[in-house]
Amino acid sequence: MGSDLKWLQSSYCESATCVEVATDGKMIAVRNSQAPADVLWFTPDEWRAFTEGCVAGDFYPENMS
């Protein structure tokens, strides 16, 4: 699973260690470019909640309790 995916990397990635994201049309896949065999899968709702939390700053240490 995941071998036919088109992996996307941020244009801000300037090193070989980046997060890559892909979709199979139903789920969102995320991996570290340095460990491409290790893939995390998320539903669209889970991914949306995560990205919204990133934008809102929910994952800054001072906001986590």
Domain boundaries defined on the chain: 8-58
Mean pLDDT of 7-11: 90
Q: In the prediction, which pLDDT does 63 show? A: 76
Mean pLDDT of 8-22: 87
Query: What is the distance between the alpha carbons of residues 4 and 17, in angstroms, rounded to a whole number?
Result: 21
Judged against a pLDDT cut of 90, whether residue 49 lies above it is answered with: yes
Mean pLDDT of 28-55: 95
Find all residues with CB under 8 Å of 47, minimum gap 6, and list them.
Answer: 28
Mean pLDDT of 8-37: 90
Number of other CB atoms surrounding residue 58 within 10 Å: 12
Model pTM?
Answer: 0.78
